Structure 1
Amino acid sequence: MIKLLSVAIVAALFLESHQQRPGPFVRPAAPVVKPGTPRPGPFVRPSAPAVKPEHPCDSLTHIECWTDWFDRDDPSGSGDWETYYNLYKENPGKICPKPHAIEAMTLSGLSVAAAGEVIFKNDAASGFVCRNVDQPKNKKCSDYRVRFSCHPPFCGGGVCWTNWFDRDNPSGTGDWEHLSDLRNENPGKICEYPLYIEVVTTDTMTPAVSTGENFHTFNPTQGFVCLRKDQKSGGCRDYKVRFGCPCKN
């Protein structure tokens, strides 16, 4: 009995050692090609389509769609209240439900910073409020107007603005912000045919048209130039410019 059991164990071990076990994966050999048979060329992955360099007027993040200006209140009472709620209610269809920016300016053309007054509210959700009680020496607020920036489809595409540029200081003959010079110094950042130009002072963001200075050049096809010799004060303020381009969605 013991002899038979030993033979069975040996036979089992012999069979197990000769069973096929899965080995490492081996790539099948390439088929044999007869001499003279044309060989296919190497596989070339199709190249990805060329990506056009980002242009300031191709990016939706640069689009600014502004409403008209609104002036619903005068500062003769407690102040100038240009609240979003009242403006939206009094001008149906003219202001988007959720504007993402607001701009305020005095009726004389001064920015909020240039006016130098204490402002109670100045945000897209609340609107703009200047209270007389907050002003020093019993001074009343200026009369302001406001506009709101909405998502582009609200007003048909809007204007695509470049970044601000300030290439010159007025220490020489004046402040020269020529379009040709700005293009040379900022390749690819200004569209070929600007539609608009905006010029403000570098310190208070006061619009150039509100400074009372005279300008030698002020248009979107040439740029901006303020000459010291043209000013009664003998000098120009320091300006920065940006250009409005057609938006490409």
Structure 2
Amino acid sequence: MFQLITIFILAGLLTESTQQTCTQDVNIRCWTEWFDRDDPSGTGDWETLMNLRDELPGKICPTPLAIEVVTTTGVSMAEAGEVIAAADTTTGFVCKIEDQPDKACLDYRVRFGCHPPFCDNPICWTEWFDRDNPTGTGDWESLDILKNQYPGVICEKPLYVEAVTVDTLTPALATGQNIFLFNPTSGFVCRNSDQANTMCLDYKVRFGCQC
């Protein structure tokens, strides 16, 4: 599961809105800076919360709500396709060389999502977008395509992304489906080939921007 989800994300508000409004809600999360304390030498790449807190005191909130992991070149865990030992808000991130068929891990970086008041910034949410249906290869609500289709509507560098099903407003990560791409810099992608029943649900997305 860890390999199929880029984790990340905002639970956000589930109320429908067609305008950008500034919202400070208890569900809003902000992200820490990116951390890359270890290189994939020795036994692997260890970006654990314990080590990060020891080396960078005060940089991570006491109880992180989300974790996002990409390689130092920006490749998601799903795209990298490696066996990941841990990628969660309790342990942090671990890639063990012994778990890899080629006995080598890529170099990863991590960041964590926190509640206010650790980082207290008002967030403006875009309208909801549902440009694709889960036909063909899946449901593609990627940021670059949405920006082309809706010029000037989405900010240049979104800070958050939220995805829910169109019919029941169920958060994407609560559906049990394998999500291929889910982060604020790239958007959302669910691939039919990753699902046990070979079909994604129909999702819609919105983006959180600094007001």
If the length of structure 2 is used for normalisation, what is the TM-score?
0.57
Rounded to whole Å, the distance in 2 between the matches of 1:94 and 1:118 is 28
Which residue does the alignment assign to 1:177? 149
Superposed displacement of residue 59, structure 1? 6.0
Q: Is 68-77 or 152-161 further displaced after alignment?
A: 152-161
- Cα deviation, residue 89, structure 1: 1.3
Alignment partner of 1:72 out of 37, 46, 50 = 37
Cα distance in 1 between the residues matched to 2:60 and 2:160: 26
What corresponds to 1:129 in structure 2?
94
2:207 is matched by which residue type in structure 1? F
Aligned to 1:196: 157
What displacement does 1:76 show?
1.3
May I ask how many residue pairs the two structures share in their alignment?
A: 150
User: Residues 192-216 of structure 1: CA distance to partner in whole angstroms, max 9, x if unpaired?
Assistant: xx4633799xx73187989xxxxxx
**Equivalent of 2:121, from 157, 160, 184?**
157
Q: Which has the higher helix share?
A: 1
CA change 1:74–1:166 in 2 (3 A) is farther
Quote the Cα distance in structure 2 between the aligned partners of 1:246 and 1:208. 12
* Runs of 5+ unmatched residues, structure 1: 1-52, 183-189, 211-239
Letter paired with 1:63:
I
Q: Specify the code of the residue in structure 2 equivalent to 1:177.
A: Q
Structure 1 position 97 matched with structure 2 position 58? no
- 2:150 is matched by which residue type in structure 1? H
Aligned partner of residue 129 in structure 1, secondary structure: strand
Among 205, 220, 224, the alignment partner of 2:181 is 205
* 8 Å CA contact retained: 1:66, 1:147: yes
- Give me the whole-angstrom Cα distance separating, in 2, the residues matched to 1:246 and 1:204: 26
Deviations 1:26-79 (A, max 9, x none): xxxxxxxxxxxxxxxxxxxxxxxxxxx865753625522110000011111111
**How many percent identity over aligned positions?**
56
Taking a change above 3 Å as real, the CA distance of residues 164 and 105 of structure 1, as seen in their structure-2 partners, is farther
Higher strand share goes to which structure? 2
**TM-score, structure 1 as length reference:** 0.49
> Aligned pair in 2 of structure 1 residues 96, 68: CA closer, same or farther (>3 Å)?
same
1:64 and 1:160 in contact (8 A); partners too: no
How far does residue 80 in structure 1 lie from its aligned partner after superposition?
0.3
Max Rg structure: 1
Read off the aligned partner of 2:181 and give its amino acid letter.
M
Structure with larger RCO (C-alpha < 8 A, sep 6+): 2
Partner AA of 2:78 in structure 1 = A
Which residue of 2 is the match for residue 81 of structure 1? 46
Runs of 4+ in 1 over 3 A off after TM superposition: 53-57, 158-166, 174-177, 194-200, 206-210
Please identify, of 118-127 and 153-162, the stretch whose mean Cα deviation from structure 2 is larger: 153-162
C-alpha separation between the residues in 2 aligned to 1:196 and 1:208? 8
Please tell me the root mean square deviation across aligned C-alpha atoms, in Å: 3.8
Match of 2:201 in 1: none
Separation in 2, partners of 1:163, 1:143 = 36
